[in-house]
Structure 1
Amino acid sequence: MRRRSGESAVRIVRYRPPATEGALALRPVTVPVRGPGLRVVRPGDGMGAEVRAVADAAVRLIVEVLAGTRPVHQLSLVAVPAVCREVASHGSTGVRGNRVVPPKVLSSRVQRPSPAVAEAVAVVVVAGRVHALALRLAHTRGRWRCTALETTAP
């Protein structure tokens, strides 16, 4: 999730199912083996209770803003201004028919590629549909802030 200068802090990813051209997609896929690198933060391992709490709060806030159930200015507690602006421009109403569908976080994971950077991924429900959410947190000036976001949510 590296950004180039002038590139938006939020990227909306459109899901496209893989084309199988009438054949079953059962052929095994070879996955390159990586050496030791990133690891998943487990609750209680002492590596980042603070990071986990901030990541959970950021995911929850972002999903609620995207669903339209929370004002975007509250996102500034855990995100940089560029992310707040982009999420505000992509936020949906969260309304389905005449009722508001509350967003829900189904699962989330956090990993730390370096001591000052954490990455979180989550499976969320926005407006009754399941979406993916990925965000990068950076530790600057004594606090964790969301600096980049990728999502399949509208």
Structure 2
Amino acid sequence: MADSRRPGPTRPPIRLRPAPVADPPYVDEVPDLWPRPPGQLALDLFGTGQPPGRPAGRRPESRPRPGHPTAPPLPPPATATPEATRAAHRFVGTCLEILNGYRPPGQIRALVEPGRIVEVTEQLARAASRTPPARRRSTRPAVHLRRLRVCEPRTAAVEVAAVLTGGGRSWAMALRLEHRQGRWLCTTLQVL
């Protein structure tokens, strides 16, 4: 008698593999993982406030603790104001419309500082070379915004990091906006 059941699956089974480590090590893990060249100053990336070579531990008692009445005030956090965040979203959205072919590249001129127009348009052209060719009747955008981070290190200046995807590739765009004469203008744009 012949077997009347359907044949088994033609795809191989799914294998789960561990994700690669993407985060840098903690301060107390491996100190010499990233050796620095001789003569280079150490960056205090983790905010310990300790000079290099000094073990992190108790602070000396002569230094006042944050929040203590004699301590100097802490700097303001580097979060962006809502107005600055809207300006960053608006500028990156305009760049995406240019990359997807919905706007002509000349429309970015009103949003860029006059002395930096050539640099910014060259970087946009570099980003456009990474995008897939546009299909004629497609209404779906070819380039998408994956993530946008906005930081305001000082008043009237915003630094933005955007992750874009398109055509199976991902890349980043870093830019700086400054508030001048009532408008937010792009002073630097770099496609990474």
- Runs of 4+ in structure 1 over 6 Å off: 24-27
Gapped regions of structure 1 (runs ≥ 5): 1-23, 42-47
Q: Residue in 2 aligned with 1:50?
A: 83
- Equivalent in 63, 82, 107 of residue 74 of structure 1: 107
- Inter-CA distance 149–26: structure 2 relative to 1 (3 Å threshold): closer
Secondary structure at 1:95's aligned position in 2?
A: coil
Q: Residue in 1 aligned with 2:71?
A: none
Amino acid at match of 1:78: L
Q: Residue in 2 aligned with 1:149?
A: 189
CA distance, structure 1, for counterparts of residue 173 and residue 23 of structure 2: 27
TM-score, normalising length from structure 2? 0.52
Checking the alignment, whether the CA contact within 8 Å between 1:95 and 1:127 is kept in structure 2 is yes
Secondary structure at 2:90's aligned position in 1?
A: helix
Checking the alignment, whether the CA contact within 8 Å between 2:100 and 2:142 is kept in structure 1 is yes
Secondary structure at 1:82's aligned position in 2?
A: helix
- Equivalent in 24, 28, 36 of residue 25 of structure 2: 28
Answer with 118-127 or 135-144: which moved more: 118-127
1:122, CA displacement in angstroms?
A: 1.2
CA deviation map 1:7-61 (0-9, x unaligned)? xxxxxxxxxxxxxxxxx999835473237565233xxxxxx22211110011122
CA deviation map 1:75-114 (0-9, x unaligned)? 1232232344323542337334856652111111111111
TM-score, normalising length from structure 1? 0.62
Count of residue correspondences:
123
- Inter-CA distance 88–105: structure 2 relative to 1 (3 Å threshold): closer
